[in-house]
Amino acid sequence: MALPCCTSQAEAPSATSTSLLRPHTERDGTTGLVTPLPKPLHARYDTVRAASVAFAQGLSDADATVQSMPDASPIKWHLAHTTWFFETFLLNECDALADSHYRPYDPRFAYLFNSYYEAAGPRHPRPQRGLLTRPTLDDVLRYRRHVDAAMHERLLHGDLSPDVLALITLGLHHEEQHQELMHTDLLHLFAQNPLRPAHREPACAGDIAGPLQWIAHSGGQHRVGHESESSGPFAFDCETPAHDVLLRPFAIASRVVTNGEWCAFIDDGGYRTAGLWLSDGWATVQRDGWGHPLYWEFHDGEWQSMTLAGMQPIDDDAPVRHVSYFEADAFARWAGKRLPTEYEWEVAARAAASSQPAMTQRFGPVWQWTASPYVAYPGFRTAAGAVGEYNGKFMCGQFVLRGGSLATPPGHARATYRNFFYPHQRWQFCGLRLAEDR
């Protein structure tokens, strides 16, 4: 978002209100209050912003302009929208940073690159982002440099309040969500090209830690959700407030499902057996002709898959990816198991360090579908204003994914992170881990 902010569902896989952000902090021994540490923010700003530009290196203006489907956005749009976020919410609207000296790079960009923030004004229709042949990719990169220069001036010379630091931190996590979307959206675009172009070296698919084992949990009352003292310095609003849940005894798989296991599901007629599928899922299989994960193709007697490194042979021992919630649920039923709830996943992930066997692949290489609908935690409240339009209004009709993927920026995922997508969507790096009742 998320991404996500801004994934398919509403372009916000996870997001937050400024009042709920936790910037890097330390204890003030006199007051006991938590005060921000601004020093790392300058370097982090540069690192995050540079990573987005680095991903686009080597792409043509056409590569960065075309939109392959309404759920995806052009690379050029991602680069501009993440810049629009800082320009709109920090340079133009934040009283602590805005001043008469800043001039927008191009006032028309406010319309072109708003995503879904109703309070921020009208916007270009999402399905038509691929029609924006202008501005060019070079123009967008100049726009980024313009905003970065203004942000640097304020980061270096401004006396920033905790709320402003929190908003900047949100902007950086928002951009990291878009970096993941840049991977998935470009892959979907290149997969439509018969030349099967490559953009970068193959990503690590993730190791499988031996045979699947079952990790038993006794259930009981557990604390879930983000608490600043135990969960780290940052959270999106949908990860809060922390609260207690009661779990029945369960067991969770030590690793995610592999390509080889998915091949067995295909060979056994999994995509042809109506009894394995939810009604909407079976209708989708019939309507769209699903018979394998997205991007899989059968060539010369073997399965291959489209990746950002071009077509690659399927590794039976690597995690299956690009499967929808409908497919994950059907596979679990075929295997005689079920998907874990998001609470079971979080409790198991927190206990992984002390579990024998250990729960591996918690934060990659695939997002893991859970059986939990994406709804608000008890006591959840959205923030006022446009920034409050980040997660809450998307809490309908979607399912939660946990963990992270090979496209998730390092350090971005955590045990409390809640990604979310509609059950039919599968262009993200989504897989699954099995669970069962005990």
The reported pLDDT for the residue numbered 254 is 95
Q: Where are the domains of the chain?
A: 18-191, 214-437
8: its two tokens: 């398919």
Say which residue the tokens 């030349």 belong to.
195
Q: What is the pLDDT along the chain (438 residues), one digit of tens a residue?
A: 333 334 333 344 333 333 333 333 322 222 222 334 345 788 999 999 999 999 999 999 999 999 999 999 999 999 999 999 999 999 987 665 555 578 999 999 999 999 999 989 999 999 999 999 999 999 999 999 999 999 998 887 767 888 888 899 999 999 999 999 999 999 999 999 999 999 988 776 666 657 899 999 999 999 999 997 666 789 999 999 999 999 999 999 999 999 999 999 999 999 999 999 999 999 999 999 999 999 999 999 999 999 999 999 999 999 999 999 999 999 999 999 999 999 999 999 999 878 888 899 999 899 999 999 999 999 999 877 777 887 888 999 999 999 999 999 999 999 999 999 999 999 999 999 999 999
User: Which class is domain 214-437?
Assistant: alpha beta
Q: Choose among 202, 229, 415, 409: nearest CA to 314.
A: 202
295 CB neighbour count, 10 Å cutoff: 18
18-191 and 214-437 in the same fold:
no
The CATH number of 18-191 is 1.20.120
Q: Choose among 287, 372, 284, 277: nearest CA to 329.
A: 277
195: its two tokens: 């030349």
Say which residue the tokens 């937050």 belong to.
16
